[in-house]
Amino acid sequence: MSTPSHISIRNLSVHYGLGHKVLGERLVVKAIDDVSLDIPKGSFFGLVGESGSGKTTLGRAILKAAPITSGHVRYNDGEAEFDIANIGKAELKDYRKRAQLIFQDPYAALSPRMTVRDIIAEPLEVMGLTSSRDETDERVREIAAKCRLNLEHLRRFPHAFSGGQRQRISIARALVCQPKFIVADESVAALDVSIQADILNLLRTLQEDMDITFLFISHDLSVVAHTCDQVAVMYLGSIVETAPSRELFSTPRHPYTKALLSAIPSLDPDDRGRAQKLEGEIPSPANVPSGCRFHTRCPIAKDNCRVDAPAWRELAPEHMVACHYADETVAAAPL
Ligand SMILES: Nc1ncnc2c1ncn2[C@@H]1O[C@H](COP(=O)(O)OP(=O)(O)OP(=O)(O)O)[C@@H](O)[C@H]1O
Ligand SMILES: [Mg+2]
């Protein structure tokens, strides 16, 4: 039996209407366009794609921090269930305890005028989760230790810390309310490679210890390949492929995924220099191409790709892809 979904997304769209008109038409940015996706409970789920593909917007929509234009996001951690598009004020308060964001930039995210203790304690205090200062301090000490922060550091201010330490503070703040679901948006992108590995190890340990589901957003495929259980690949507001991580990186089926991997020699499954390079830039989400939205850059596009949007289909267990010719891309791969 497959693992139950913690997050179940159906036909989700996040469209932003821009104020001005171009040639008499109001521009609509389709940041997320008809996305369906399941994030299994307890998984470390990767979301990859070029800049502007909609990764952050998807993470924010799940957290009710981006406006949902249509579709559904359902949350179920086994104890509580929410319909995020229609969530009420009182439920949202509970949801905020259960679903949290770890920011990308540990420098910008931490208030320079607050001590580390106060930074970590703030969510507990804002949500009224503790009844005394002693209890708050106890919870702060507990999570700080789990995040491998030295307890003496709690009295200091964030400027005294390195990037890796600041990211630990951010993580402690996100986890102090004992959330069940975390969106980690480019959480290691700003760090040196050696520190990245350290933070990734910490996140995986915390995930297991605290039974958390992670949505790990990254444009760095090598980080995702080594960290995530499952991966979804996003292109121009749409998911084009999902698979268990090992399978996605050994047998990518969508030409976009193949192109992303071929740009990283150590991850290129062909490794023969023959994989296609991705030409051009991602089109504007205010002007999404017809048919398959990847056809303007696709090395194997045929005439029908300009007209017909490909169906979302399962090519192997848990391996889903949206491409008319995904079977052929496999057949064409060298043995
Ligand atoms: N509030 C907004 N109003 C208008 N357009 C927006 C808004 N938020 C995001 N967008 C647009 O939606 C698209 C997707 O943006 P998003 O930030 O989700 O991409 P991303 O994949 O996270 O990119 P990056 O890797 O650079 O972080 C972009 O074209 C962006 O300009
Ligand atoms: Mg982003």
Give the pLDDT band (50/70/90) at residue 335: very low
For position 173, what pLDDT does the model report? Answer: 94
Say whether both 208 and 296 belong to one domain: no
Say whether both 183 and 126 belong to one domain: yes
Say whether both 52 and 105 belong to one domain: yes
What is the chain's mean pLDDT, rounded?
A: 90
Say whether both 118 and 220 belong to one domain: yes
C-beta 65 within 6 A of ligand 1:
no
CATH of residue 97: 3.40.50.300
- Whole-number Cα distances in Å, 170 to 145, 199, 243: 13, 11, 30
Distance (angstroms) between ligand 2 centre and the Cα of 53 equals 8
Among candidate residues 194, 228, 262, the one where a domain is terminated: 228
In a domain, 113, yes or no: yes
Q: Tell me the DSSP string of 7-28.
A: EEEEEEEEEEEEEEEETTEEEE
Say whether both 187 and 271 belong to one domain: no
Ligand 1 nearest atom to the CA of residue 285, by list position: 29
Distance (angstroms) between ligand 2 centre and the Cα of 134 equals 38
Q: What whole-number distance in Å separates Cα of residue 206 and Cα of residue 172?
A: 10
Distance (angstroms) between ligand 2 centre and the Cα of 56 equals 4
Point out the ligand nearest to the CA of residue 67.
1
Residues in Cβ contact with 111 at an 8 Å cutoff, skipping those fewer than 6 apart: 119, 158
Ligand 1 nearest atom to the CA of residue 18, by list position: 4
Distance (angstroms) between ligand 2 centre and the Cα of 232 equals 15
Say whether both 194 and 277 belong to one domain: no
Give the pLDDT band (50/70/90) at residue 306: very high
In a domain, 275, yes or no: yes
Say whether both 178 and 253 belong to one domain: no
Ligand 1 nearest atom to the CA of residue 234, by list position: 21
Going by CA atoms, what residue is nearest to atom 4 of ligand 1?
16
Query: pLDDT by residue (tens digit) across 256-305?
Result: 999 999 887 776 666 555 556 677 888 999 999 999 999 999 999 999 99
- In total, how many domains does the chain have? 2
Distance (angstroms) between ligand 2 centre and the Cα of 58 equals 9
The pTM assigned to this predicted structure is: 0.92
Say whether both 117 and 220 belong to one domain: yes
Ligand 1 nearest atom to the CA of residue 50, by list position: 25
Question: Positive or negative, the Cα torsion across 91, 94, 99, 101?
Answer: positive
Vertex 57: Cα angle to 218 and 146 (nearest 5): 50
In a domain, 10, yes or no: no
Q: What's the distance, Cα to Cα, between the start and end of the chain in Å?
A: 32
Query: pLDDT by residue (tens digit) across 9-58?
Result: 999 999 998 777 767 777 899 999 999 999 999 999 999 999 999 999 99
The residue range of the domain holding 138 is 41-67+88-228
Point out the ligand nearest to the CA of residue 101.
2
